[in-house]
Every structure is written in structure tokens, then in C-alpha cells.
Structure 1
Amino acid sequence: MDDPFYSLWNGLRENIEHFMDHVDQGINYQKYMKLYTDVYNYCTGATQSFFDSKRDTTQLIGGKMYNELKSFLERRLEGVYDNSKQHSDENLLKYYSDQWKDYTVAMRTINHIFEYLNRNWIKREVSEGRTYIYDVYNLSLIIWKEKVFFNMKDLLIKCLLRLIEKQRHGEQIPEDLVKNVIDSYTLLGEEKLDDNNSRNVDIPKGVSSFKIYEVYFEKLFIKATEEFYLYESQKFINENSIVDYMKKAKARLEEENQRVDKYLNESSRIPLLKACKDVLIKNHLEPIQDEFTELLQQDRVEDLELLYYLLKYIPNSFDPLCTKFEEYVKQQGLASIEKVAQNPVSKSGSSTPVSSRKEAREKESVNPQAYAEAILAVRKKYIKLIQNSFSNDSKFVASMDKACTEFINKNKICNQKVKSPELLARYCDALLKKSNKIAESSEIEERLKDIITIFQYIEDKDVFQKFYTKMLAKRLVVGTSASEDLEESMISKLKEICGSEYTLKLQKMFQDINVSKTLNDDYNNFKRENDISSAQDFYIMVLSTNCWPLHPPTSPFTVPPELEKQINSFQVFYQKNHNGRKLTWLFHLCKGELKTRFYDKSYIFQVTIYQMAILLSYNKADSYTLSELEDQTGLNKEVILGQLNILCKAKVFLLKSSSSGEKTYVYNPNFKFKKIRVPLNATVRSEQQAENEETRKAIENDRSFLIQAAIVRIMKTRKTLKHVALMDEVISQLKNRFKPRVSDIKKNIDYLLDKEYIERKEGEKDTYNYLA
């Protein structure tokens, strides 16, 4: 041809063709620069007119070169496709992969050679809206799609799927080859093809070339995956146990996950794993869920972890398991507590200060420590299971909490009188006393934390509060508290859960104790200043009536002359400093020590003040009848008998009957005891029982006031409210302190109706109005 362009183009084509045939040899710098310069010189020449199928107008130079390059690539790739017909299966993939690799490597270099064409003529055409014009590299990809990919796609996918299936059956496959082919799908989708493109492209209208990978590989691959696992899973589950099937399913899921890492596009991970989970897990959900209870019963932690791992991918699959788990934990808790009920006394090593089975039964039918430890053992076991097997899943935690709430508040031990809150308070009392037999305060602190764990499940927190307050008061008054720091730590824990109002009285009790220390120092100074001498050591506590759950004595009492002077002097001192305040002496709570001088060995009797009064009477005589002792001490018969029984049991007195049949209490000169200190100040059992009954009665009275206050508060805010809504709001407001019974709420509604705080709305019996 005479046209200088064709002379230029033929030289370019020959060099490009040689380079593409020998990509592995590369192209030297001189040749590269010559080709680049030829394109540059052509593109920077004068304007020319040339015919284009779309238009006929004056253009920047470049159109001829673009069309010739396009035609050249089309002819070359048609040859590539024709040669592919000689290959099949894995060889076909290798041929495609090799040709693709060489082609893309070559086209990256060729794209640089034609860079000036890209930056001028092609850029101008694209900017004018000619969407069928592409830069050289993208043009090369489009022609590959047209001439090679779309002609080979059906064979390629079959070969790929066949290789992947072989791998699933355990055979080795060339993963790099598979990756290279699949990567071509991704790269071919990087350029977006316009829906109105006139090229003969075998791609559905509306599907951009970005979806080449998705449409021509991913969808077909996932469909084949589903078919493969549908058959395999059904066959495997029919021939093996559920646990073995779960192991197989997990292994397959991990394989597919690794397959994405090795040679699939990352975009396939979610749809592929979803398809696998649906087939492997969702289709067999029921038998897997049915296995849950058996695995629980056998404590198969690892298998439960596997079950959780599989089911976490299926929405709502845990709901029936949580229900089963809740019921199972509840039954385990009830069974554990029932064992405690059958064997109420703790074994040796218990921190509860109980010396024998007989004494334990006298004190209470259930050992509080054993009860608390039975609850904790169940909770710790299943909270550990949740952590290890269920990834601390909140649904299982909630189910366990519901189960614990159920068996802690409603079990065989919790009869009408003794309930979990009271037993828990007794366990606290045992731990916080000096007699707890635990040397390390850190261990006590850990046990108190365990108690708080149980406490959070208790519905009737007001019962715990009442008994705990009562027992704290005794520890502080009698001086049996092991540690002030531990006491304050426990109060702090309660405050954190229930708020400051719950612990207000407890904190005030400690304030009174500290004030009493200062008061005793001031009293001792008063005695020195007023030259008041005394043979006795005297310590007194002044306690606020409204904060301490202490009641006046039930019996009159005549103070022994030996103590009367001390009491009177303190009364003078206190009234001088606090005029107008009234002191109520709680003699039934007072304790002291008496030193004996009439035995072979000197003893120190640790006694109540009532016992002290009785014993001091024997300084005057060796024996007294019951009526004489009543006259001496001023105590009523019931109280003095309780104290005398303790003294007789310890053989301090010998009980005899006079000629008239009246009981006589005789001093025992042969009294013996191993230790110097003789503990006689035990609480009389009948007094303890009466005290417990009184506390339970006080709880019921307090609840009535709280329910009434809640009803009035709600009605004052709402003015008018239906019965059901009022009941719900009362329960909601009081649930943090106790769970009010419906019957109690109704009873207090009736009381407030009678007192005219509220009234029934006229014409609507189930609606109430607030009366201001």
C-alpha cells in the first residue's frame, strides 16, 4: 500500500505479533521506544479525514490505528479459540490459563506503547460520549470476552466444577490453575459494559460485566455445591450418629471457607457459606436440636460447643435449645437442693459454727452453707458451660438466670416459713462472725461475693434485708463481728445492687457504733472528773431507735446492786449531755463476764445479764426455789426458766425438788470445765423462734405499707386506671424489693377503697379514680 499509515502499521503489527508470540522473552528497551515513538509520531501528525461506520467527519489522527489494532486482536483471539478445541478437561483449563496469562502480560506492555493514543484520540472520543471506544487495555479485555471467554465459558465451568468436586472427594488438584482461571473471570468484570452496546456479546441485557464472575461462575458453582452436599449430607446422617454428622458438617464448612481463601473471589464467601449452612445444618436442624438434651445430660462439653458452632449460623435455632437448657438447669438445681434437704447438716470443714448434728437440728433444719453451696455449684457448672461451649451467648445466660431464679425461689426447702433469703442471711451471719473458722479474710470475701451472686436471683429481697439487718444488729451489739471491713464490704455490695435506700439503716447502725465508742471515752472522763469508782469494766452502746431492729425486753428486770451504781451514773452523764432524750435499757441483749472464787479452779463465766443476776444471788445462799429467784431478779417465769435451763445443762446448778414438790436450784460445788472461760450466754431456742416469727410478721406488715404506698403513688400520677393496669404497675414498681402476690395487692386495694384514697369509677367496676 502507498498510504504511509499502512507502512507504519505493518511495522507495528509485526513487532507486536512477535512480542505476543514470545512474551517470556520480553521486549528490549530500544525496540519498545521505537514502537512508542512510531505511535507518538503518527498521533501528532496533521488532521485527516477517514471513514467510520458511525460517522464521516474530520477527526484527530488515531481512528485508523485504533481500528487496525482492534481487528488484529480479534483475528489473533479467534485463533486462540480455534486452537482450544484440541483440548479438554484439565488440559483445556491449562491452555486457557496459559493463553490468558500471556495475553494480559503482553497487553499491559502494548497498552503502554499506545499510551499516546489513549491520552489523545481515545480520550477525546470517550469525552464526546462515544461509549463504544475504549482504552487499549480495556479493548483487549472486551475482545477476549467476545472471541474467547463467551465461546469457552460452558466448557470452562464444567472443567472447573469437575476439578472442585474431585477435591471434595479428597483428590489433589492444581489449585493454582483453578485460581488463575477464576481470576480471569474477576479481571474480565472490571470494565463495565453499556447495556446498549452493539457488540455481539453473549451476556444478558442489564447484566454488567462487573457480574461476569457472579453470573458465569459463582451462581453455577453454588448450585453445584448445594447438589453435592444435599446428597452427601443425607447419606452421611443416615449412616452415622448426629455427633459424627456435626463433625463432618463443621469440617465441610471449614473446607469451603478455605476454598475461598485459596482460589475463589472474596465476594463468594457469604453466599457460598450460606448455601452450605442451609444444606448441611438447616435441612437437618431438628435431629441436631434433638441431640442437645442428651449432650447436656452426659456433660459432653466439646460436642455442645460443636453444636453451638453449627447452629449459630441459623436464625432462631437457639430458641428451643434455650428453653430446654432453662428447664434442665432448673431440674439440676432442684435436685441439688433436695439432696441438701435430705442431709441438712454440713460435713466437717464447714465454716458454719455448728459442733454436732444434734445442735444443728436444734438451730435449723437446713444448713445455710450447704444450701448456698448447692446453688452455687449448679450455677458455676452451667455458667462455665456457657462460657466454654456457647461463647458466653446472652440467650443462654438469660435462660440460666431464669432457671436459677426459679429453683432458688421455689424449691423443696423454701416452705412457708423458711425461704432462700432467710437462709442466705444466716449464711452471711455465720461467715461474718468471729466463730466462722476461716482464717483468711480473702476467702470470706470470695464467699460473700458468691452470696451476692445468689442474692441477685432472689425475688424477696426485703426478706433478706430484714433478717440480715437483725443479724447484723446482734453481731454489732454482742461484739461477735469478725471484721468491720468485711461488714462494710458486704453492705457496699448490697448497695450496688439495690441502691442506697436499701442499705441506709445498715450504714446508720455503723455510725451509731462509732458514736458509742466516743461516748464511752467521754463517760470514762466523766467518771474520773467526778471521782466515780467502780470494780467493773463497763461498756455501753447508745443506738437510734428507728435504725436498729431491736425491741424492748419482754420481761421486767431488777438490776443487781453490783451494777446499779454504774447504770445510774451513766444515766446522769447522758442526760447532762443530751437533755430530753430517753434511754430504753435493752437488758435482754446485755452480756458480761463473772469471775468465780468458790471452785478449785477459778473460772470466767460468759453470761447474759439475766444469768449474771441469777448467779450473783448465789453469793448469799447455795440454793433457791424458782419463785425465790423470780423475786430476786424480777424476771417472769418463762424468761428465767430459759436461763436456768442453760445453767443446769452446763451443770453450774443442780436441779432438785423440795419436799413440797417445788423445784430447787442448788449451786454445784463440783463444777468442772476444760477451759477457763465457760460460754453460757447461748440464745434460748424458744426466744430465737419467737424472734424469727416476729421478723416474718414484720416483713408482712412492711409489705402491706409498701403496696399501699405504690398504689397511692401510681393513682396520684395517673388519676384514673383500670384494675389490670394498676396491678401490673404495682408489681413492676416493687419487683426489685419483692414479688407481691396478686391476693395481697387486691387486699390493699380494698383497704384503700375503705379509707377513701381511691374509688371505683361510676359505671366501670374495673376502673379506679384517685381521690385527692
Structure 2
Amino acid sequence: MTELPKSNDLNATWNFVEPGLKRIIGGSEDNVGVTPQMYMNVYSAIYNYCVNKSRSPNNLSSNNASQSSLLVGAEIYERLKKYLSVYVKQLQRTPPESFLEFYVKRWTRYTVGAGYLNHVFDYMNRYWVQKERNDGRRDIFDVNTLALLTWRDYMFLPHAEYLVKEILAQIELQRDNQVIDTKFLSTAIKSFVLLGIDVQDLKKPNLHIYIDNFEKPFLESTRQFYAAESAEYLSSHNVVDYLRKAEQRINEEESRETLYLDEHSKKPLTDTLNDVLIVAHSQVMYDEFANLLEQNQIDHIAKMFALFNRVPSTLDPLAEIFQTYIDLKGITAIDNLKNDIQNEASKAEATGGKKPKQQVDPKLYVKALIQVYKKFQQIVSTAFQNHPIFVKALDSACRQYINNNSIAKPPGFRGTSKTSDLLAKYSDNLLKKNKDADATSDMSVDDIMVIFKFLNDKDAFETHYRRLLAKRLIHGTSSSTEAEETVIQRLQSENSMEYTSKITRMFQDVRSSHTLRATFKDEASKRADSKSIVADFEPFVLTETMWPFSFSKNNKFQLPADLVPTYSAFQDLYGQQHSGRILKWLWNLSRGDIKANLQKPGRAPFTLSCTLYQMAILLPYNDSDTYTLSELCKLTGLDAPVISNAIVPMVKYRLLQPSPGGMDALSQLDTKFTVVTEFKSKKLKVNLVQGVRSLESKQEVEDAEREINEDRRYYLKACIVRIMKARKHLSHAALLNEVVQQSHQRFSAKVADIKKCIDELVDTEYLQRNEDQSYDYLA
């Protein structure tokens, strides 16, 4: 092969290059490879033939080339095409190698040779083949593509079914933990991709060979294998073991996918695995989920979630089970707390003691709610990775059991959920001065905000909280201003500035009252009757609409003579500073201290902390030792029931002695009350206020409920007017929906209440009702 053939002799040229082609495409029996000299001679012979333009067009095949073509290549292209088909057909498997081994070895050598052949016929590819394809000949290909198509037609397609069967058998062996040579699988499967050639557009990827001949059978065999294995495994193992097995199998298949599958198979393989291993057995896993929650098996729950998370549609039933379980645990926790309270009351009664009132400790109640939330919040965070569906399920469940349980809404109870009231009392205990630091050591503002977030009746909490805050501010029992402001800021950020507007104004009133107090002290010292003015008088001037106090217009209370000069001095000062303002005195909230010289001579007097009403009852005893209830009514201007309630702690501490005795006699007008000549108490400071507070609690609850309902009525009316002012015209249903939506942030509005407010606005001519059940806004 040293002397090149004549460039115009086709037969000579072909006879010259054919031995070299055989070595290039498949090697030789003597194992002598292609030398550089041989490669260059073959290349040169083909090049010389193709560039020879002296050949007559009549010698070209009319089926393969244009008669006007001056580029030569058709004859040698046909010779090469025939040669490749003959070469591929004569390839034979030599036992004991499997067909897969034979296929992969021959394919590997063939594709390498085809690459070299493509370079040998480079000139023909670049000129003749390119021109033919540009002229619309889609049956002409570059040499590398021609080689692949020849392999496809004469080697792959006739044996595709058998080849794929062997590949799937090898994959199944690997699934059964047997060792196989994955290189054979990888090479064979990649050949399916390379053989998918689009003859219309050679640059366009085409996976029809891969999909039709391998992917579909592979997915079907995968489905059958895992359907049988998973069913058998579950019949002899528990769900927890199955979770591990499914996770292991999915990881194995994903690894297999990376090693030798095409990217196209990723999604269908994932869908198949999800369908067979997860969806098909989802009900079994759902049934076990509650048991895992009961046992707090967070790791196993995380595995179950990881599986279900692969199929988003399976998460909703799991979240529903999760929500129902949380709600049940929350209800159960409160039921247990209620039972404990009842059992303690029963024990006290059985031992002969006085049966205590079955009141709920706000701290125990809130802690019971918090404990359930924190437990499942940890599961959501750790096992469910804060997935939105499970965050929502936790929120919905907490909202349900926090607002509706045996304590918040006892059977037959139709009022506002008591959770708002108990949370406000919890806040009061936390923020109030407390001698026992251990009692509040495990309480925090975070607890308040967690429960507050789930309250349906946030407006009720604001009312109860504001009432208790008012007492802390007026009586100076707040632990610190900073702590109070922290809670207010947190409430504001969780809701709105409007929500805390009244509370903020209350703090402003307290600060301005402190300034006014200092001014009064200075001015009082300059008065002629300064000695008769109480030196430590602490007035609070409050905005009537911001504070949760009610003023009684029919109050005939007569201020004790000792306090009249102080009262008159303050009235004069305030009238000078603010002309036109009217002061309404809340005598029932006023307090003071009285020094009582009821000790033995030479000993320090007692200090009695009491309400103003109690003070008005006690001061007349400076003039006389005994008064009847009727006489005390005339002296104070108070009603008999009010005096009876105020006297209860005085009788309890044996400061006053009733005649006749007994609690029933305290409300009789002819009952006499005599002050003791020598009062006995271990403490020099005696608090007479606490006994009255419990007697007023029922009235406070009624006032709070009344205020909540009244505020809601005003709020709903404001919402309706605001909506109608913007829309001008709305249907009845649309108006109801918008009002419910706007009021949801503060409370759950009832449709009946909204309808009642609409009727009132129609009556007052804010709205006009039309015949088609729609409304118009009247400016």
C-alpha cells in the first residue's frame, strides 16, 4: 500500500482502501493495527478520487446524484454503505460470551472505527455529502452517521428484544444484591441513545430508540419487581421497616439512574417508584402515622415525610391526620386539667374541708396549651422541615383546641371563648408585682404571644387585658414599665397599631397624671387650708373612652369630710388648667390607707389598706363605736348591698363585730356593727381590699362581656360603612363576605350580628336596601 491508485479508477481505488477500512473499522486477525502510513494512504486515495473532476457525469448513478454535479462521491459512498452492511451482518457471537458482552465489545470497537472512518472520508463529507443534503437528499449521511445507521438496521433492530431482555436480567440480578459488570450495561444503554438518529435533522436529539426499545420495558419491569417485593415485604414486616426498605430501594434506583440511565428516564423512573412504593401503600402508612405520633418517633416520622414528600398529592391526607391528632391531644390535655381541678375539689370536700371553687389557674391552663403546641411544633420543624402544609395543619389544629375546649367553651356555653380571659389573667400574673419569684419563673411573654396568635377573639383578649392593665396602672402593681411596653409592642407587631391604640393612650394618661400630681402638690402647699389637704394624694385623670371603667350617674356617695378639702382643691386646680372639661369621679376605684390606733398604748398603730367606700364606713367610728347598717347608709350615701360587701373583710378580720352575728345578718338594715377597742393582727398592715375584689369579680365579667359585644357592634358598623363608602353598591352576599374577611383579624363575626348591624345602618339611613337584596351607600 505504498503506491496510490489512479484517481479516476473507482475499482482500483476501492481495492486499494478496502483492506485499510477493515483494519480501521474492526481490526484484523493478526492483531496488527492501523499504521500512520496506512491511514494516510487510505485518506489520500479517497481524497484523490473525490477531487477528480474529469469524470463524466454519465458514469454517476442516476439514483444517487445529480446529472449536473461536478463533485464526485456517489459511487464510493455506495461502495462504503454496502461494505458496512456486509461487515455488520457477518459479526458473530463466540460462546460462552453472552449476547450483551458480544454486543458491547463489538459496538465499542465499531464506534471507534466509525470515528476514524469519518476522518478518512472527510473530504467527501464536507463537499459531496453536504451538497447532497443541501439539495434535499435526506437519505445521504456523513460517514459516522452512516455507520451508526448501518449498525442500527443490521445489528440492533434484529436483536433488540433479546438484548434488552439480557440488560433487564442483569439489572434484576443487581437488585437482588448480586455483583454485575455495570460497564456493559452503561455502554449498551448509551448505544440506544446514539442510535436514535433523526434523518431529517441530524443535529436534533432523538430518543425514540432509547424510549421504545429500553425505557418502556425497563419501567414496566421496575414496576413489576417493586410491586411484588413491596407487597411481600409488608406482609412480613412492620411499617417502620418498610420505610427503611423503601428509602433504600429509592436510593439504589437513583444511583443506578446516575450510573447508566439517560437523563430522560429520571422523571418516569421517579414516578414509577413513587407510584409503586409510596402511593400503592400510602393507606398502610397513614394508618401507622398516628402510632408514630403517639410514640413521638420523630426519626421515623421524618422518613415517612421524606417518602410522601416525593408525591405532593399524598401530603394532604397526612396533614389532615396530623391536624386531627393535634386537636385531639389539645382537647385531651385540657380535659385532664379540668378533671384534676374537679378531683382536688372532691378530695377537699371528702376530707371535711370547705369545698373550693372550681376555678382554673390561668398559668396551668396556658401551660397545658403551650405544651401541646411546642411538642408538635418540634415535629413540624424537625420531621416535616417546616413544610407549609404541616405548618398550616399545626396552626389550624392549635386554633381549634385553644379556642374550643371543655374549659374555654363548656357544654351549653354560648359566650366568648374563655381562653382570651384566661390568657389576659396569665399576662396579669406575669406582669404584676409578685413576692414569690418562683411562681412566675417559668412564665414568659413568648407564651402569651404563642397563644395570642391562635386566638379567634383577639378583641376579647384586648378588653380583658386592658381591664387588668388598668388596675395595675392605677394601683401601681406593675412589675416594671419596660415589661408592660414589651408586651404592647409584641401585640402591636402581631396585630396592628389600631389594636393597641387604647392601651397606648392609657400609658399617656398615667404619665400626664404623674405630672399633674406634682403640680397639684406644689399648688396645694400654697393654699391657706394646705394642712387639711392629704399630702400624698395621687389623682389619675383618665380619658373616659380609653379606659374600661363605667361611671354611674346615680351615685349618691357622700365623700368623707376629711377628704373634701383635697377634693375641692384638685377641682379648682384642674378647672383652671382645663376650662370646659368635666371631671367624673370613680369613687369605687379609689383606695387609701387609714391609721388605726387600736393597739395597746405605746405600740405602733395599724395601717388599714381599704377602698374609698370602706374608708367612708370606718371614719364615722371616730365619733361613735356602733352604727346600724341603716345609719351607715345615711352617713355614706351608699346602698345597703354595697356596704354589706365592703364590711365583709372587716368582719372577717374582726375589726367590726356584727350584732346579731352570722353572714346573713350583714345585709339586714337593723344589724349593728361595733368597732373593737383592741384590734389583733400579726401584721401591722392589713389589706381589706382583697375581700371586696372577689365580690366584684362577677360584675366585672359581665361588664367585660358587655363591652366586648358593644365594641364588636361598633366595629362591624364601621366595617360596613367603610366598605360601602368605597364600593357604593354591593349585593348582600358580597357585603357579608367582605365584612367577615375584614373582621377576621379581630374576631370571628357571626352572620346574624352582621345582618343586625346592616339593619341598624339602614334604619339610620347610612345604607339603602334595594329590592334585589343589594345595598347602596347614602353619602
Which bin holds the TM-score, normalised by the shorter protein? 0.7 to 0.9
Q: CA deviation at 1:566?
A: 3.1
Report the alpha carbon displacement of residue 324 of structure 1 after superposing the two structures with TM: 3.5
Please, which moves more after superposition, 29-38 or 385-394? 29-38
- Give 3-state SS (helix, strand or coil) of 1:607's partner: strand
Is 1:681 paired with 2:689?
Answer: yes
The answer to whether the aligner puts 1:376 opposite 2:370 as a matched pair is: yes
2:566 maps to 566
Tell whether 2:214 aligns with 1:217: yes
Say if 2:689 is the partner of 1:690. Answer: no
Judged with a 3 Å threshold, the aligned counterparts in structure 2 of structure 1 residues 562 and 495 are, in CA distance, closer, same or farther, namely: same
**Map of 1:550 onto structure 2:** 549
Distance 1:650 1:286 in 2: 68
Task: Using the TM superposition, give the Cα deviation of residue 527 of structure 1 relative to its aligned residue in structure 2, in angstroms.
Answer: 4.2
- Other-structure match for 2:484: 487
Among candidates 251, 276, 287, match of residue 284 of structure 2: 287
**Counterparts of 2:316 and 2:219 in 1: how far apart (Å)?**
29
Matched, 1:193 2:199: yes
DSSP 3-state at the match of 1:592: strand
In the aligned structure 1, how far is the partner of 2:267 from the partner of 2:446?
A: 44
Partner of 2:575: 575
1:116 aligned to 2:123?
A: yes
Q: 1:108 to 1:437 in 2, by over 3 A?
A: farther
Structure 1 unaligned spans of 5+: 198-206, 348-357
- Work out the CA distance in 2 between the residues paired with 1:289 and 1:544: 58
Aligned residue number for residue 541 of structure 1: 540
Quote the Cα distance in structure 1 between the aligned partners of 2:154 and 2:435: 90
Amino acid at match of 2:141: Y
Q: Does 1:135 align with 2:135?
A: no
Is the CA contact (8 Å cut-off) linking 1:710 and 1:730 kept in structure 2? yes
Q: Tell me, yes or no, if structure 1 residue 60 matches structure 2 residue 71.
A: yes
Give a deviation string over 1:199-218, Cα, whole Å, max 9, x none: xxxxxxxx985322111111
SS in 1 for 2:544: coil
Is the contact between residue 642 and residue 684 of structure 1 (CA under 8 Å) also seen in structure 2?
no
Structure 2 counterpart of 1:79, from 79, 82, 90: 90
Paired amino acid for 1:681: V
Cα distance, 1:607–1:29 mapped onto 2, change above 3 Å: farther
CA gap of 1:585–1:46, structure 2 versus 1, over 3 A, is: same
SS at match of 2:314: coil
Give per-residue Cα distances to partners, 1:651-682, cap 9 Å, x unaligned: 44455659x974333235352325x5443332
Question: How many residues were matched structurally?
Answer: 740
Distance 2:646 2:341 in 1: 28
Distance in 2 (CA, whole Å) between partners of 1:528 and 1:35 is 126
Match of 1:307 in 2: 304
Helix, strand or coil at the partner of 2:712: helix
Instruction: Sort the Cα spacing of 1:25 and 1:698 in 2 relative to 1 into closer, same or farther, 3 A.
Output: farther
Whether 2:637 is the aligned partner of 1:640: answer no
Bigger shift: residues 106-115 or 524-533: 524-533
CA RMSD of aligned residues (A): 3.8
Deviates more, 1:746-755 or 1:109-118: 746-755
**Cα displacement (A) at 1:27:** 5.8
Q: Which moved more, 1:664-673 or 1:749-758?
A: 749-758
CA distance in 1, matches of 2:72, 2:260: 44
From 735, 746, 749, the equivalent of 1:737 is 746
Q: Structure 1 377/572 Cα, relative in aligned 2: closer, same or farther at 3 Å?
A: same
- Flag the 1:30–1:379 CA change in 2: closer, same or farther, 3 A: same
Q: Among residues 393, 396, 408, which one is paired with 1:399 in the alignment?
A: 393
Q: Which moved more, 1:368-377 or 1:380-389?
A: 380-389
1:182 is displaced (CA, Å) by 1.1
**Residue number in structure 2 paired with 1:426:** 425
Q: Give SS of 2:333's match.
A: helix
Counterpart secondary structure, 2:500: helix
Which of 390, 398, 408 in structure 1 is aligned with 2:402?
Answer: 408
**1:162 Cα deviation after fit:** 0.8
Equivalent residue for 2:105? 98
Alpha carbons of structure 1 residues 514 and 757: separation in structure 2 relative to 1, 3 Å? closer
Pairwise CA distance, 1:361: 5.2
The equivalent position to 2:612 in structure 1, one of 609, 612, 627, is 609
Q: Secondary structure of 1:551's match?
A: coil
Match of 1:18 in 2: 23
Question: Is 2:60 the partner of 1:51?
Answer: yes
Partner of 2:665: none
Cα distance change on mapping 1:57 and 1:436 into 2, 3 Å: farther
Worse-superposed segment, 20-29 or 606-615: 20-29
* 1:346–1:370 contact (8 Å) kept in structure 2: no
Indicate whether 1:230 and 2:255 are aligned: no
Cα 1:640–1:134, aligned 2, differ >3 Å: closer, same or farther? same
Q: Which residue of 69, 75, 81 maps to 1:70?
A: 81
Is contact 2:517–2:539 with CA below 8 Å preserved after alignment?
A: yes
Match of 2:155 among 135, 145, 148: 148
Instruction: Give yes or no for contact 1:78–1:148 (8 Å, CA) kept in 2.
Output: yes
Q: Which amino acid aligns with 2:154?
A: K
Distance 1:474 1:213, change over 3 A: same
Q: Residues 58 and 412 from structure 1, CA distance in 2 versus in 1: closer, same or farther, beyond 3 angstroms?
A: closer
Identity of aligned residues (%): 34
Query: Could you report, residue by residue, the CA deviation over 1:450-474 in whole angstroms, capped at 9, with x for unpaired residues?
Result: 3233223322222222212211111
Q: Supply the distance in 1 between the matched residues of 2:561 and 2:763 (Cα, whole angstroms).
A: 54
Instruction: Structure 2: state its 5+ residue gaps.
Output: 345-352, 662-668
Counterpart amino acid of residue 430 in structure 1: N
Match of 1:664 in 2: 673
Match of 1:317, SS? helix
Give 1:79 deviation, angstroms: 2.8
Structure 2 CA distance, aligned partners of 1:193 and 1:176?
29
1:736-762, Cα deviation, whole Å (9 max, x unpaired): 333334444555566566667667766
* Separation in structure 2 between the aligned mates of residue 257 and residue 643 of structure 1, nearest angstrom: 80
User: What is the CA–CA distance in structure 2 between the aligned matches of 1:486 and 1:40, rounded to whole Å?
Assistant: 94
- Cα distance, 1:177 vs. partner? 1.8
CA distance in 2, matches of 1:395, 1:644: 59
Residues 26, 110 of structure 2: 8 Å contact kept: no
Q: Does the aligned pair in 1 maintain the 2:20–2:39 contact within 8 Å?
A: no
How far off is 1:535 after superposition?
6.4
Tell me, yes or no, if the aligned pair for 1:651 and 1:668 is still in contact at 8 Å: no
Equivalent residues of 1:344, 1:370 under 8 A apart: no
Which amino acid in 1 is paired with 2:148? L
Give the counterpart letter for 2:645 in structure 1: G
For 1:343, what is the secondary structure of its paired residue?
A: helix
Describe the shift of the 1:573–1:30 C-alpha distance in structure 2 as closer, same or farther (beyond 3 A).
Answer: farther
Q: 1:599-655 deviations in whole A, cap 9, x for unaligned?
A: 434554443333444555555566655455555555443333333322333344455
Closer/same/farther in 2, CA of residues 670 and 603 from structure 1, 3 Å limit: closer
Does structure 1 retain, via aligned residues, the 8 Å contact 2:513–2:539?
yes
Q: Deviations over 1:375-417 (max 9, x none)?
A: 2222222232233333433333333333333323332222436
Distance 1:70 1:280 in 2: 49
Find the counterpart in structure 1 of residue 268 from structure 2: 271
| Mapping 1:419-498, distance limit 5 Å | 419-435=418-434, 437-438=436-437, 447-498=444-495
Question: Whole-Å Cα distance in 2 between the matches of residues 306 and 182 of structure 1?
Answer: 33
Say whether the 8 Å CA contact 2:60–2:74 is kept in structure 1: no
Counterpart Cα distance in 2 of 1:758 and 1:661: 59
The answer (yes or no) to whether the contact 2:656–2:673 under 8 Å persists in 1 is: no
Mapped to 2, the partners of 1:639 and 1:47 lie a distance apart of 133
TM-score, normalised by the number of residues in structure 2: 0.84
Q: Which moved more, 1:493-502 or 1:141-150?
A: 493-502
Amino acid at match of 1:582: I
Counterpart Cα distance in 1 of 2:638 and 2:282:
76
Residue equivalent to 2:518: 521
- Give the direction of change, closer, same or farther, for the CA distance of 1:661–1:462 in structure 2 (3 Å limit): closer
